[in-house]
Chain A
Amino acid sequence: MAFAEHLTSPAFKENAKGALADPQLQSALHGVETGVVDRRRATVEKLPEFQALRDSARDIKNHTLAHLDLYLEQFEQKCTAAGGNVHYAVTAEEARALVLDICRKANAKLVTKGKSMVGEEIAINDFLEQNGIAPIETDLGEYLVQIRHELPSHIIMPAIHLTKEQIEADFRRVHTHLPADRNLEEHQTLLTEARTVLRERFLAADVGITGANFLVAETGTSIIVTNEGNGDLTQTLPRVHIVLASIEKVVPTLEDMSQLLRVLARSATAQEMSVYTTLSTGPRRPGDPDGPNEYHVIILDNGRTAMLGGQFREMLRCIRCGACMNHCPVYAAVGGHTYGWVYPGPMGAVLTPSIVGIENAGHLPNASTFCGRCEEVCPVKIPLPKLMRYWREREFEKNLQPATIRNGLAFWAWFAQRPRLYRIATSLAMFGMGLAGKFFGRFRWLPLAGSWTRHRDFPAPHVQTFQAQWKRGVRTR
């Protein structure tokens, strides 16, 4: 598969080791767990209807998925009636070929891009470059990862792994037409430089490619949500606008879109509403002074119709807010690149194996503590831990795990099915560890658990097991 060159998910463990030992990355990640999480909570608390809106959002997505063929047909009909062109792609290869064909017909040399996760998924930038067309990312975070030849490390904050100093160094390396002695110390000066450099590209581009947060079937409309205004310029200034959307982006009506918008920005960036939500219906109309002459929507499957029929259908409710990764202790420790492909964190742990195969991404659903925070904050209530568990089961069934894990699990199954033996053995272990840990209350080191205790102490257990306490009638903590 074409994306294999970027796929490092099989090396999750090595990636994680590198990430944990990288001081710049650790410093950049520090703000995720604290800042983003607190801000989201504060914003959510300001809206008493938030939990009811999550239920509503979930129900809208479930209804749409159950009638997906009909809503897509409706979208196609309305979009076409408004002068748009709807294309379908079963695979990433087909989607890339469609994009290239449209670009060639438009005689395009320069393509600007709004942020699109589907664009990342089909690796459209590499493909266009190989075919002599220059793609320029315009979302600041996407631009930063593009000039570093990296994948985004977060689905809405693509450059969250970078420090200001790294960004300054990259700008000096890439913007060689600017004076070498310019001052780039402030965040503001860095932003101004990016704005100036990208403004020229916006005005010069032949084709603009964006993603879609939603497609509205009722009106044949595509919707993008941005804070910078980059996606909006990307689709307004060039002669041709191409929308990359996967099948599950469709929603029935403008009202349904509004329900989802109310949970999207709050979950993603802790804003009441993103700065720009732009609804596009067809190309430039007679008399319009601006806007593209051509409007194309490419609707991609790439493994999703298979998810629709199986255990992973609920994952297709995802609206790509990134709240699950913001609240994930594993993500906060290792960052997005460790996951080794386009979609990191809990949502990636479910989605990536669906697209690239569990044999390539088996570590991802295992890289979870199952703490459940992702499910608690998910605006469309996707049971992410349950879906990760399904992948673990499939991995086991397919015999994909190493022998140590398989043997360990087999022993555990044998042990856990013998209650008497289990009780005796655990009581003995508790008693022994309780005695040994009595003095300090915790262990700095334990046999067979060295890599665990290297990063934190292991608490000494109660002298009795839970089952023994329960039997004695202990019912309080």
Chain B
Amino acid sequence: MSSRETLYGSIRASLGVTGGEPARRAAVAERLKAHPRGVIPARGQLAPRECVTLFAKMVEAANGSAELLANAADVPTAVAALLRRHNLPMQIRRGNDARLATLPWDNARTLEVSTGASDGGQLASISHAFAGVAETGTLIMTSGPDNPTTLNFLPDTHIIVVDAKDIAGDYETVWQRLREKFGTDALPRNINMITGPSRSADIAQILILGAHGPRRLHVLVVGQP
């Protein structure tokens, strides 16, 4: 007997079932189809404008920083200002996301923009989020050529752009949007939920930012909700 058969056999013996019971199968099919939301904290159930305010507040509570921009066209100068403020080289790496590719990068004349995944040699990167979640200040990133996963983790400074209209009150609203866009047969290879910059408290319980991932996370919230 294969390990697979042994394992399923043991589970079924312990549960006292055969696996063929129609009622059990129906219960599982129903839950997968209905995917009930459970208890949703009232905290994030706000009007769109308050949602954005809460989102920015929670990003900062998680040691990130957030900036509201009226227009996407303001992103390049905001990026340049951030790099200058922290005395960083005027270089940034991005993926192929059309929302980033079409920005007026020439407005930030000294800024050098490269594209592609990170090989660990870049100090700063910029990605576009699929969504934000106000409840905890969490950004939802999807992998692919548009926004390579390595840009989320290898550079020291990570800048994330999120459209104000994509900020939801809770995770569940975002999962529903994901299903609508990708279906449940092929979620993006990686979905990264990011809440603040990397950290560790493994050395004598003292919290320090920048363990293996970015030590600085800056969020640019663009447009109107």
Contact = CB atoms under 8 A, between A and B. Distances in A.
Q: Do A and B bind each other?
A: yes
Interface of A: 28, 31, 35, 47-49, 52-53, 56, 60, 63, 66-74, 78, 81-82, 87-90, 94, 138-141, 144, 157-160, 162-164, 167, 187-188, 190-191, 195, 198-199, 202-203, 217-219, 221, 227-230, 232-233, 236-237, 247, 252-256, 258-259, 261-262, 269, 271-285, 287-291, 299, 301, 305-306, 308-310
A49 B37 CA distance: 14
18 contacts: A49-B40, A73-B8, A78-B184, A88-B4, A203-B119, A218-B184, A227-B200, A236-B153, A247-B7, A254-B172, A272-B58, A277-B192, A277-B193, A281-B186, A283-B189, A290-B149, A299-B7, A306-B10
Interface residues of B, dominant DSSP: loop
B175 A289 contact: no
B150 to A, nearest CB: 5
A309 B31 contact: no
Nearest to B193: A277
A71 B29 CA distance: 10
A275 B198 contact: yes
A140 B208 CA distance: 12
Nearest to A225: B193
Contacts of A299: 7
B208 A198 contact: no
Contacts of A82: 185-187
Contact of B36 (A188, A198, A255): A255
Given A70-B25, A272-B195, A287-B145, A35 B11 contact: no
Q: What 5 A-B pairs are tightest by C-beta distance, nearest first?
A: A229-B213, A309-B14, A305-B10, A228-B211, A141-B202
B145 A289 contact: yes
B8 A72 contact: yes
Given A82-B186, A308-B14, A70 B194 contact: no
Nearest to B211: A228
A48 B212 contact: no
Given A69-B15, A275-B62, A89 B198 contact: no
B197 A258 contact: no
B99 interface: no
A256 B196 CA distance: 23
A116 to B, nearest CB: 16
Contact of B203 (A191, A217, A256, A275): A191
Given A218-B32, A254-B175, A291-B190, A228 B212 contact: yes
B171 interface: yes
Nearest to B34: A253
B70 interface: no
Contacts of B150: 236-237, 289-290
A288 B144 contact: yes
A67 B7 CA distance: 14
B38 A60 contact: yes
Contacts of A72: 8, 11
B136 interface: yes
Contact of A230 (B14, B117, B186, B211): B211
Given A74-B32, A190-B203, A232-B213, 12 more contacts: A78-B184, A82-B185, A140-B200, A157-B202, A187-B206, A188-B208, A195-B210, A230-B211, A253-B31, A272-B61, A280-B190, A288-B144
Contacts of A190: 203
B27 interface: yes
A93 B19 CA distance: 27
Contact of B38 (A255, A283, A290, A291): A255
B203 A187 contact: yes
Given A56-B39, A247-B11, A275-B195, A140 B189 contact: no
A308 to B, nearest CB: 4
Interface in B1-59: 2-4, 6-8, 10-17, 19, 24-25, 27-28, 31-32, 35-43, 58
B116 to A, nearest CB: 6
B130 to A, nearest CB: 12
B199 A227 contact: yes
Given A236-B150, A258-B172, A140 B211 contact: yes
A81 B17 contact: no
A268 B10 CA distance: 32
Nearest to A32: B205
Contacts of A73: 8
Contacts of B43: 47
A233 B202 contact: no
Contact of A291 (B8, B143, B193, B211): B143
B188 interface: yes
A70 B25 CA distance: 7
B88 interface: no
A48 B45 CA distance: 14
Contact of B143 (A47, A60, A288): A288
Nearest to A66: B15
